[in-house]
Amino acid sequence: NAGVTQTPKFQVLKTGQSMTLQCAQDMNHNSMYWYRQDPGMGLRLIYYSASEGTTDKGEVPNGYNVSRLNKREFSLRLESAAPSQTSVYFCASLQGAPTDTQYFGPGTRLTVL
């Protein structure tokens, strides 16, 4: 099992460019999450998908969109990147109940110039 995989690992964008961060899990988990990690602010939830076919906003959804493509894949799109979106982005998955453990991917380090 690869667990949770994310692509790309690193990305540099110019202000106004768009891109999609990809996340996939092979654990047959129902729920998936996107977080951003910034120094001194911990992990902040951007969007989550409690189950296939559903998505909900987290704490900081502005400037992002998500797609739960199927049970395995959950992508995060930046339509018009801004320097404030420079961050490390983590994807996570959770099997079923909220009491289950979240499994995290390795992260994508994004820099917006």
Partner 1 sequence: AQSVSQHNHHVILSEAASLELGCNYSYGGTVNLFWYVQYPGQHLQLLLKYFSGDPLVKGIKGFEAEFIKSKFSFNLRKPSVQWSDTAEYFCAVIETGGFKTIFGAGTRLFVKA
Which stretches of the chain bind partner 1, using CB under 8 A?
31, 33, 35, 40-45, 48, 50, 56, 58-59, 90, 92, 94, 98-99, 101-107
State the minimum distance, in angstroms, from the CB of residue 41 to partner 1: 6
* Four-point Cα dihedral 62, 76, 19, 39, nearest 10: 70
Is residue 51 classed as helix, strand or coil in its secondary structure? coil
State the minimum distance, in angstroms, from the CB of residue 92 to partner 1: 8
Closest to partner 1 by CB, 14 vs 39, is 39
State the minimum distance, in angstroms, from the CB of residue 108 to partner 1: 13
Closest to partner 1 by CB, 42 vs 53, is 42
- The closest of 18, 15, 1, 37 to 75, measured between CA atoms, is 18
Cβ–Cβ under 8 Å, residues 75 and 66? yes
How many other β-carbons are positioned within 10 Å of the β-carbon of residue 19? 15
Closest to partner 1 by CB, 4 vs 112, is 4
